[in-house]
Amino acid sequence: MKRTALFTALCGASFMANSAISMNPQTDPNDVNGFVVSASEMAAAEAAQTSDPMYAIWSKALETTPNTVVEAIDAGLASNPDNVKRVERVFPRSDWDFLTHMAAPEYTYTRFLRAIGKFPAFCGDYTDGRDADAICKKSIITAFAHFSQETGGHIAIDNTSDNPLALEEWQQALVHVREMGWAEGQEGYTTGCGQKDWQNSRWPCATGQGYFGRGAKQLSYHFNYGMFSEVMYDGDATKLLNEPGLVADSWLNLASAIWFFLTPQAPKPAMLHVIDRTWTPSQREKDAGIGYGFGTTINIINGGIECGQQNKTKGQPVNRIRYWEGLAAHYQIPIEADETNTCYQQLPFGSLNLQGATDVLYTNWDGNWKYYADRPGGYSFECELVGFQTAYSALVPGDYEKCVTNFYGSHAGWPTVRVLPDAEMPTTGTGNGTDTGTPTDPNAWSAAKVYNKDQQVVVKGVTYKALYWTQGDDPLLSEAWGPWVPVQ
């Protein structure tokens, strides 16, 4: 099984589960050029494509706790969420202090607990016998190994002038809260900002703001700030796009890393599900050398640059592995026989050939452009799962409806569609999206009939003239270059 999500167009392959759902679009009673579909049909079409149990698991892992609850979390409180209490037990403040002697003051144990409290699945419970405490500790130590690389000091233990405490490099995590060379008030990392496209429609850049790296995972670029903001602020993308500094100066500096840890990216699994083995590598992944172990978490983070035989001795992966091995030894994290710490023997996830794959699950929606002869204009009026980033995620409630209705204008040429409650659906018409008037009207348009140049038809009281031979072209969908024009 496999998964998908964050903003990186990793492959062009797509997969859509075969669905027995038959959408029945109707002409919109409020817009003769638009259509309506029923809420129940839309929900059934979505459910038919996300029936694999992994979709529920992914969505559950990304559930969040309200910020009002999170901001009341502090060490030792009886009111702390259960997953926070587990962290306090397996990774107490003394462990935090041991690994953060050099850390920037913006990173604190309380903020760490709040970041974890936001996501109940991190260090959460298991009902199938897995050791939740052991998985929790391994997850934290894995995160710190990557923190040591991403935001660490990287000062040699024998460099006594810069490292007077003789700290191991894996004890030097979270030194940087902002990308080196950048400060608040500077514009930067604004590639794509201001363009008239779906990215800016969903995640609009704010004037004067910079989207350079911030926080433990160095969150960068406006689309990632927008997506993270939606998770943190109940679907509001603009909060962090307008105030990106919060990712440095509040508990979001660690929450951004936990969010990344839990989020699958096409075609990568979530890091948590590699560690807790909810993920099972597909045959294609096994053939590419990808399996369990710390090495696969490197592949998830930066496989295109750090994995593969050509990167065996490269600094970044070598550092990550050193830090992981030092931390795992200190904290006595057992390494299973089928786990590999390295990723030089792996193909990067982005290099996998997924063309025609049916053992891969995707988590982004795009318009289904297949032709359907029984629907107006041949449009499907549905969306399908694809292996590249789009405006709509299968893990975000409500995004399927937004895809069907082309909410962010990402489907060029898509018909105007509204979703209505079943009780509000029109009761007249043929069921194929076009009201043809009185069935016996000899001038009523018929999809089955052949029309020659200058023949006329009537649809919803409007007379149309054929510009050339046509059959099956709905006058209501005829564009400037189509076969029908209204008679003036």
Catalytic sites, residue numbers: 150
HSE of 290 in the Cβ direction (CA atoms, 13 Å)? 28
Buried b (16+ CB within 10 A) or exposed e, 81-114: bebbbbbbebbeeebbeebbebbbebbbbebbbb
For residue 267, whether the previous peptide bond is cis, meaning omega lies within 30 degrees of 0, is yes
Q: Are the beta carbons of 217 and 256 closer than 8 angstroms?
A: yes
Structure tokens at 66: 């309200």
Scanning the structure block, which residue is given the tokens 């109707």?
A: 26
- Is the distance from CB of 245 to CB of 214 less than 8 angstroms? yes
* Separation CA 51–CA 46 (nearest Å): 9
How far is Cα 275 from Cα 380, in angstroms, rounded to an integer? 39
CA distance 389 to 202: 13
User: Which contacts qualify for 467-471: CB closer than 8 Å, 24 or more apart?
Assistant: 471/447
What is the C-alpha separation between 377 and 375, in angstroms, rounded?
6
C-alpha span between 202 and 397 (Å, rounded): 15
Nearest Cα residue to 212 out of 265, 264, 173, 176: 176
- Is 375 in contact with 433 (CB distance < 8 Å)? yes
Nearest residue to 203 via CA among 164, 169, 242, 176: 242
Tokens found for residue 23: 């959408």
CB 282 within 8 A of CB 132: no
Alpha-carbon distance of 452 to 181, in angstroms, equals 69
| Residue 207 CB burial class (10 angstroms; 0-12, 13-18, ≥19) | exposed
- Asked whether the beta carbons of 367 and 386 are under 8 A apart, the reply is no
